[in-house]
Amino acid sequence: MTVTLVPALPTLPGPVRPDPLGVLGVPGEINLDHAASAPCARAAADAVAELLPWYASVHRGAGALSRRCTLAYERARQTVADFLGARPTDHVIFTRNTTDAVNLLARALPAGTTVVTFGGEHHANLLPWPRGSVRLPVPDSPAGAVRSLDAALGELARDARPGLPVLVSVTGASNVTGECWPVAELARVAHRYGARILVDAAQLAPHAPVDVTASDLDYVALSGHKLYAPFGAGVLVGRADWLDAAPPYLPGGGATSHVGAATHDVRWTTGPARHEGGTPNLLGAAALAAVCAAFTAADRAALHAREQALLTRLRAGLAALPDVVELRTFGPTAPRVGIVSFVVAGRDSAEVAAHLAARHRIGVRDGLFCAHPLTRRLLAEAATRSGRTDLPPTALRASLGLGTTAHEIDTLLGALATLSR
């Protein structure tokens, strides 16, 4: 199997440094499914290749290999902290992915915490929360989200249990529509009521900077595999107090400072290690950190402008197809990252996705995108808005990334045009 860089390296005179944010891919395969898992960035592949000969235990050995691996792991933690603008007192805990990070925080909530989410969330930000959590209706604008949260937190503050902790948990960007949520404003509202906020940055971080300090966020969760860093690491970043007071997420080796002979004679350590029991995923952490460093060094404004141009091309092309209806929560001009969900009226979405793959070698996602309540609602809204009675019960999603080209977008649009009347 031939593996190449997409986009192709520029042909400049003299030695050319490969772009660390170039991505691996297979020629001819059009990957428009970055929101599910992004391809591997050169930076991640190189970091893993460089570390592999040294691969040994982390925090568990005195040998040179082990010491180097321990250093690489802890440096990765710092690089991720810097990438996310974490406060010096924050913990950076390596997890498997965003789902794992949200579940970790869910297990670390102080007793009696009420969690407030919106119905537009991915299942990873709906299902881990305890009973008694509040799910606000999906708002129709970013300002509506802020108003709705303000009203809900005001009500909670007046209810019978004032003084108990409240955690607001919202996505940074929707995995269904790509629409961006006003996380800094939501954080301001949350803090006005003494609540904390977690931002699920799984879809935002690959497309736009996320800054814990600048946006005054309490916690951020993300997945390496969506940030061009496969190898199985994610991260939870945020305030130390709840995390240090909570029972360890993975009780076991590495999470303790003392274990005595009696069954329950154990003192758990504080800091990230408390929740990282067992041998850590060094290669995952190193890959994630390498991509974070590459993004930190990159011109993010230029990357954003490029992606927005491709997104505009895609949305304009879809709008021109008579049977295609876009799904959206907010207005058509709301800020969004490179993710678009849509349906082809009169066509089953799974069949369309299979056709795109078989005939055109285009990979898109179909279904309800692990956000069933939201996607069902948006399908109903799309039917009302378009006046169509023949929309399918599931949707298609095209999501763009670093390697996406205008030619790939045009190929998708051309393929859809053959299906749309």
Ligand X SMILES: Cc1ncc(COP(=O)(O)O)c(C=O)c1O
The residues annotated with a catalytic role in the active site are: 370
Minimum distance of ligand X from residue 88's CB (angstroms): 27
Binding mask 213-252 for ligand X (x = CB under 6 A): ----------x-x---------------------------
**Which CB sits closer to ligand X, 99 or 349?**
99
Point out which span in 77-85, 106-114, 130-138, 196-204 binds ligand X (CB under 6 A): 196-204
Q: How far is the CB of 224 from ligand X (least distance, A)?
A: 8
Q: Phi, psi (5° rounding) for residue 93?
A: -110, 125
Segment contacting ligand X (CB under 6 A): 1-9, 93-101, 110-118, 279-287?
A: 93-101
Q: Which is nearer to ligand X, 174 or 420 (CB)?
A: 174
- Please identify, using beta-carbon distances, which residue of 225 and 377 lies nearer to ligand X: 225
* Closest to ligand X by CB, 225 or 347: 225
Q: How far is CA 86 from CA 51, 74, 81, 93, in A?
A: 26, 15, 5, 12
Closest by CA to 228, choosing from 83, 50, 39, 22, is 39
Q: What are phi and psi of 14, to 5 degrees?
A: 80, 180
| Among candidate residues 390, 354, 321, 365, the one with its CA nearest the CA of residue 382 | 390
Q: Which of 31, 70, 79, 97 binds ligand X (CB under 6 A)?
A: 97
> Nearest-5° angle of CA 165, CA 166, CA 169?
145
Cis peptide before 7 (omega within 30 of 0): yes
Contact yes or no for 67/256 (Cβ under 8 A): no
Total of residues contacting ligand X (CB under 6 A): 14
Residue nearest to ligand X (CB): 175
The answer to whether residue 171 forms part of the interface with ligand X (CB under 6 A) is: yes
The least distance separating ligand X from the CB of residue 174, rounded to whole angstroms, comes to: 7
Helical H segments across 18-63, by residue range: 42-51
Closest by Cα among 38, 55, 35, 57 to 47 = 55
Closest contact distance (angstroms) between CB of 99 and ligand X is: 3
Q: Does 122 bind ligand X (CB under 6 A)?
A: yes
Please say which residue, 128 or 413, places its beta carbon nearer to ligand X. 128
Residue from 199, 206, 209 nearest 33 by CA: 206
- Selected range binding ligand X among 151-159, 198-206, 376-384, 407-415, rule: CB under 6 A: 198-206
Q: Assess 98 for contact with ligand X (CB under 6 A).
A: yes
Query: What is the identity of the amino acid at 389?
Result: T
Interface pick for ligand X out of 200, 323, 366, 408 (rule CB under 6 A): 200
Tell me how far, at minimum, the Cβ of 383 lies from ligand X, in Å. Answer: 24
- Residues numbered 334 to 373 that lie near ligand X (CB under 6 A) are 370
What would the DSSP string read from start to end of 122-142?
-GGGTSSSPTT-EEEPPPSSH
Scanning 48-56, 95-103, 206-214, 300-308 for contacts with ligand X by CB under 6 A, the matching segment is: 95-103
Check residue 54 and report its DSSP letter: G
Q: Amino acid letter at 420?
A: S
Selected from 38, 124, 180, 362, the binder of ligand X by CB under 6 A is 124
Q: Amino acid identity, residue 58?
A: V
Shortest distance, CB of residue 34 to ligand X, whole angstroms?
A: 11
Segment near ligand X (CB under 6 A), from 147-155, 199-207, 352-360, 398-406?
199-207
Q: Decide whether 203 or 420 has the Cβ nearer to ligand X.
A: 203
DSSP state of 325: E
Query: Does residue 117 interact with ligand X by CB under 6 A?
Result: no
DSSP string, 218-287: SEEEEEGGGTT--SS-EEEEE-HHHHHHSPPSS-STTSEEEE-SSTT-EEE--SGGGG--SS--HHHHHH
- By CB under 6 A, name the one of 79, 113, 177, 203 that touches ligand X: 203
The token pair at 348 is 């089953």
CB of residue 187 vs ligand X: minimum separation in angstroms? 17
Cβ proximity to ligand X, 125 vs 420, nearer residue: 125
Q: Does 177 bind ligand X (CB under 6 A)?
A: no
**Nearest 5 degrees, angle CA 108-CA 285-CA 250?**
30
CB 336 within 8 Å of CB 321:
no
Binding site for ligand X (CB under 6 A): 97-99, 122, 124-125, 171, 175, 200, 202-203, 223, 225, 370
